[in-house]
Amino acid sequence: MGADLSPYAAIVLTMVLSAGLVLAILVLNAVLGPKRPSPVKETPFECGNPPADSPRKRFHVKYYVIAIAFVAFDIEAVFLFPWAVMYRDLLKDPAFGVLALVEAFLFIGVLALGLWAIWRKGALEWAFERRDRETGDA
């Protein structure tokens, strides 16, 4: 019975050592860490500058839209790497090589269509328009 679990011994040992290291660091921090809090020490640190605004300030939704679009297109670009690496091997079979090329162009076309759609909606505009420009008021 013990021989069946021997391949997992290294995994269990790694988990035990990792948990032990975490506990040791937490205990050392509690024992050796500073214990004199002050209002100055508890203020948020912003690269040596005084805090500019509240950390609970709401961000404009365009920031999140651009972030989600970046992640989506970044992940889609990652899907192209395996295809690019394997394309030379795919060319050995002429029919399959052409099929792979057509699929890749279709994939890139869908990405371009998505980019065009979010570009057309203005989701990639980083500068925010002032309201008086939209209404025509000066």
Q: What pLDDT tens digit does each residue of the chain (138 aa) get?
A: 556 878 889 999 999 999 999 999 999 999 998 788 888 777 777 676 776 777 777 877 778 888 888 898 888 888 888 888 888 888 888 788 888 889 889 999 998 998 899 889 888 777 655 554 455 554
State the DSSP string of 65-110.
Answer: HHHHHHHHHHHHHHHHHHHHHHHHHHTTSHHHHHHHHHHHHHHHHH
**Residue 121 main-chain phi, psi, to 5 deg:** -75, -10
